[in-house]
């Protein structure tokens, strides 16, 4: 009975979307979060929506937005004899400018430890006092507080062989960068649920106030995404853009102030490089001077990348344009041919939250389509 009721609810929501969709123009709706991209793919929503509603994947996959110049830095660190790289698994197979990855480096003798939490990385440092353990801090506002806690704990316990290479990115600045890009055409945003549990709703207000764009913080179940779409379409139809919360069971308007305090104690905003988007002011996080002993950039004297180092690796890979919503994965000439999950060329195919991985697995354009069905 419950399953039948759920199907009826979903059918009703799809009907609402169809009713609210404008008949005279297409709409571009960006799902910012990579977890939303995977949820939409798995549910088959793209195939169920009206043709004039185009869902675009955005720059909300932390592995995907990591720039080539950052990848080259941690690959060079991995080659140092006294260094152990501690990382989440998604970064293992991301290729750098020359096509090599952390997995390749490990095969050549580099010490790379896959961890499941920042505290696991601290344990690696404790267990290897003669080695320098560098944790690769990739992620958004969701993961930054836990990384900050590991730095605080390392300082309190005097663990001097632990440091963090901060690859953290911030969501609101990249959304503004997208809206300032003349190539990008977005009518509304499905805003990330996980990030919003930390930052709340206020950091998104500029979307409506300054750019007249609709936004809804949305959960990850199929009915959440459809409800979020209905709310977005109502805003667009009435020409009253605002920022709303659909995911009320997970997100408070004020977010998580204590988590932000911990994050602000260790990190401060800094300019950051994004794949496909270039340098975005104040869109990253760097470790504060008071914790400099735990900043891998300072410990290893890592310079800022030179301009010629900031060129993307494979010019045929459209990952940058896909992250901006300019292209869909199947519009990349490498997709499903030279670039597959078993042989990825770009990070959008590597990551479990990457748009190309989702399209390959869950749409008719990819080789995983039959398996997914």
- Enumerate the domain spans of the chain: 62-302
Q: If you average pLDDT over residues 320-345, what whole number do you get?
A: 93
pLDDT, averaged across the chain: 92
> 130 in helix, strand or coil?
coil
pLDDT tens, position by position, 44-63: 999 899 999 999 999 999 99
Kindly tell me if the per-residue pLDDT of 254 is higher than 70.
yes
Tokens of 102: 């952390």
Identify the burial level of 267 via C-beta atoms within 10 angstroms of its C-beta, where 0-12 means exposed, 13-18 middle and 19 or more buried: buried
With bands split at pLDDT 50, 70 and 90, how would you rate the model's confidence at 372? very low
CA distances (Å), 63 to each of 167, 279, 348, in order? 9, 17, 8
With bands split at pLDDT 50, 70 and 90, how would you rate the model's confidence at 313? low
Residues 31 and 40 sit within 8 Å (Cβ to Cβ): yes
Kindly tell me if the per-residue pLDDT of 1 is higher than 60.
no
Among residues 335, 331, 373, 333, which one has the least CA distance to residue 357?
Answer: 335
Helix extents (H) in 218-303: 222-238, 257-266, 296-299
Instruction: Name the DSSP class of 294.
Output: G
Distance CA 251, CA 231 (A): 16
Distance CA 22, CA 361 (A): 30
How do the residues of the chain divide into helix, strand and coil, expressed in percent and rounded to 5? 45, 20, 35
Distance CA 21, CA 26 (A): 9
Which fold is adopted by the domain 62-302?
Rossmann fold (3.40.50)
Instruction: Name the DSSP class of 119.
Output: H
CA angle 161, 61, 351 (to 5 degrees): 80
Beta strands in 48-197 (DSSP E): 53-60, 83-87, 111-114, 132-137, 162-166, 188-191
């Amino acid at each position: 009975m419950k399953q039948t009721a759920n199907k009826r609810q979903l059918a009703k929501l799809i009907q609402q979307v169809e009713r609210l969709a404008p008949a005279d123009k297409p709409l571009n709706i960006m799902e910012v979060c990579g977890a939303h991209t995977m949820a939409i793919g798995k549910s088959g929503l793209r195939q169920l929506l009206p043709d004039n509603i185009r869902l675009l994947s955005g720059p909300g996959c932390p592995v995907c937005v990591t720039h080539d110049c950052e990848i080259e830095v941690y690959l060079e660190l991995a080659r140092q004899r006294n260094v152990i790289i501690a990382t989440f698994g998604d970064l293992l197979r991301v290729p750098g400018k020359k096509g090599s990855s952390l997995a390749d480096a490990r095969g050549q003798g580099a010490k790379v430890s896959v961890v499941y939490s920042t505290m696991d990385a601290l344990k690696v440092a404790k267990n290897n006092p003669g080695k320098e353990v560098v944790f690769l801090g990739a992620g958004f506002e969701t993961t930054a507080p836990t990384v900050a806690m590991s730095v605080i704990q390392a300082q309190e316990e005097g663990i001097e062989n632990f440091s963090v290479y901060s690859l953290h990115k911030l969501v609101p600045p990249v959304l503004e960068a997208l809206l300032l890009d003349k190539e990008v055409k977005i009518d509304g945003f499905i805003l990330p649920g996980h990030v919003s549990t930390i930052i709340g709703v206020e950091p998104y207000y500029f979307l409506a106030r300054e750019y007249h764009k609709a936004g809804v913080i949305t959960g990850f179940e199929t009915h959440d995404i459809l409800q979020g779409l209905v709310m977005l379409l109502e805003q667009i139809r009435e020409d009253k853009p605002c920022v709303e919360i659909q995911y009320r069971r997970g997100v408070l308007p004020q977010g998580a102030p204590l988590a932000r305090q911990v994050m602000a104690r260790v990190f401060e905003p800094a300019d950051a490089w994004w794949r496909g988007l270039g340098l975005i002011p104040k869109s990253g996080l760097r470790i504060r001077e008071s914790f400099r002993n735990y900043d891998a950039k300072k410990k290893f004297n890592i310079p800022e990348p030179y301009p010629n180092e900031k060129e993307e690796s494979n010019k045929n890979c459209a990952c940058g344009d896909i992250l901006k919503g300019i292209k869909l994965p199947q519009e990349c000439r490498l997709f499903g041919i030279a670039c597959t999950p078993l042989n990825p060329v770009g990070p959008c195919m590597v990551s479990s939250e990457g748009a190309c991985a989702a399209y390959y697995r869950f749409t008719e354009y990819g080789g995983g389509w039959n398996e997914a069905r």
